[in-house]
Amino acid sequence: MDSPAFDLAFEPAYGQAVPVVSGVERVTVNNPGPFTFFGTNSYIVGASSVAIIDPGPEDEAHYQALMAALGGRAVTHIFVSHTHRDHSPLARRLQAATGAVTVGQGPHRPARPLRDGEINPFSESSDLSFVPDITLSDGQTLSGDGWALSAVLTPGHTANHAAFALAGRDILFSGDHVMAWSTSIVAPPDGSMADYMTSLDRLIAREDRLLLPGHGGPVTQPAGFLRALKAHRLKREQAVLARVQAGDQRIAEMVKVIYRDTDPKLHGAAALSVLAHIEDLLERGEIAADGPPTLAAHYRPAS
């Protein structure tokens, strides 16, 4: 299956502030993993006083690295793209140390309620205690010394995901919505494929020149990359639909075929991605189910 040209070249430089573009530095947390790549990127934006985007997990070494990178500069705002535990928890400690206000699209919430008997497989990954001081609406802009950031609401990976556009620079901090190294996980009930695709179209229409994601290096040619990412998702959707039409009734059967070249350790996450596609296909009437869509439900072509 065709994919975007993912870029796996990245030097995390743990503990160091890496200049990215004028007025933007990146500090990467040493929390590598299959879903975080080399780790979570925190960004410092501004001049004599700054904003921090995605402070990261509660991690002592990263806290010390951020404080050292600030070099005594005041922090006025702490922006959080979404409330997964690799992005938001350190906001509380940074706020206590700096007096900055926290900013985000609201507390953690699922894209839809849990169904009877359903368990949220990513519940432990969610930061349920983060409540921003400022809840952003779409297009709302906050500014500081040499910077202005506008909210671009991008639900899909999570319901409360937001990207942040750096005014006058055509630069977007894309969080986990779009990353250069991999596709984003869209896992119900926290995530929604329909929302994700709508948000992807929003970014395609923006025509930014640079995306700075929550993990890995920058997306340097966003226009082509975003279109390829959308095409990849649509091909995955067609693969799911083809497996249902071929007679696969269970998600586990579909995953074995669609993700046959993927590390089996990631098949659990892959099953949730298939479920996200199935929810979207059901909503559009392209397939049918024997009940509410779950990992264990049976699916069939729409009559």
8-state DSSP, 106: -
* Between residues 158 and 3, the one the model is more confident about: 158
Which among 106, 82, 76, 78 is positioned nearest to 93, based on CA atoms? 78
Which pLDDT does position 2 carry in this prediction? 60
Is residue 258 over pLDDT 90? yes
Exposed/middle/buried for 291, CB within 10 Å: 0-12, 13-18, 19+? Answer: exposed
Choice between 144 and 269, residue whose per-residue pLDDT is larger = 144
The mean per-residue pLDDT over the stretch 146-150 comes to 96
pLDDT band at 255; cut points 50, 70, 90: very high
Round the average pLDDT of the chain to a whole number and report it. Answer: 95
- What would the pLDDT profile of 55-72 be if each residue is shown by its tens digit? 999 999 999 999 999 999
Mean pLDDT confidence for 256-267: 90
Tell me the per-residue pLDDT of 91-115, one tens digit each, with 9 for 90 and over: 999 999 999 999 999 999 999 998 8
Residue 3 is predicted with a pLDDT of 76
Q: What is the pTM of this model?
A: 0.96
- Examine the pLDDT at 1 and tell me if it is beyond 60: no
Surface-to-core class of residue 85, CB atoms within 10 Å of its CB (0-12 exposed, 13-18 middle, 19+ buried): buried
